[in-house]
């Protein structure tokens, strides 16, 4: 019997495919999918076990399996790497916090947008990379301005990501 991939694995794969762009998806879909399944622990990362799993759980013939594994070996240094623990933490935080913008890994931070439970006109920008959530800033939905928490240094990549998401939310007129 073939392994069934859980639906939450497909959500993560969808995000990976979106980030790869159309050209990357069209050319390397097989390698991107294999990488995702390896990173999420569905397929072992050891070459011999990977080949064995692909033989047992797919309809691929041996030559296609070897072509894929060799292609993966060639391209794996360019593919994103993420741990099962990280993805489980992201899944848990997104579910628990009822996010407006799901938590995403931006450099060493996990940034997400969460509704402010005390003020419906505000959204908290949170960092979930540590043991407890840190409020990086608060977005006012009335004018889409952000008030940064002055107790934390905001990295440029995080700043660009947050501003981009605020612009996207404003454009969608999220209320």
pLDDT by residue, tens only, the chain of 175 residues: 345 555 555 555 566 566 666 776 777 788 888 887 887 678 888 899 999 999 999 999 999 999 999 999 888 776 666 666 666 776 777 677 778 888 888 877 889 999 988 999 999 999 987 767 789 999 999 999 999 998 888 889 899 999 999 998 998 865 4
pLDDT in the model for residue 162: 94
Q: How far apart are CA 145 and CA 136, in angstroms?
A: 14
Question: Which of helix, strand or coil describes residue 22?
Answer: helix
Taking a C-beta distance cutoff of 8 angstroms, is the pair 132, 111 a contact? no
pLDDT in the model for residue 124: 95
Closest CA to 173 of 146, 140, 137, 141: 141
Which run of H or of E encompasses 32? helix 7-39
């Amino acid at each position: 019997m073939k392994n069934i991939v859980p639906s939450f694995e497909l959500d993560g794969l969808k995000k990976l495919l979106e980030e790869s762009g159309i050209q990357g998806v069209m050319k390397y879909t097989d390698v991107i999918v294999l990488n995702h399944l390896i990173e999420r622990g569905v397929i072992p990362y050891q070459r011999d076990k990977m080949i064995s799993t692909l033989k047992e759980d797919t309809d691929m013939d041996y030559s296609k399996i070897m072509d894929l594994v060799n292609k993966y070996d060639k391209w794996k240094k360019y593919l994103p790497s993420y741990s099962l623990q990280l993805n489980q933490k992201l899944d848990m935080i997104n579910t628990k916090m009822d996010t407006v913008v799901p938590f995403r890994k931006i450099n060493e931070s996990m940034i997400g947008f969460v509704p402010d439970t005390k003020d419906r006109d505000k959204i908290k920008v949170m960092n979930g990379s540590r043991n407890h959530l840190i409020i990086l800033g608060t977005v006012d939905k009335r004018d889409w301005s952000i008030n940064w928490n002055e107790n934390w240094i905001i990295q440029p990549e995080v700043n660009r990501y947050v501003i981009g998401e605020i612009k996207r939310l404003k454009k969608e007129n999220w209320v």
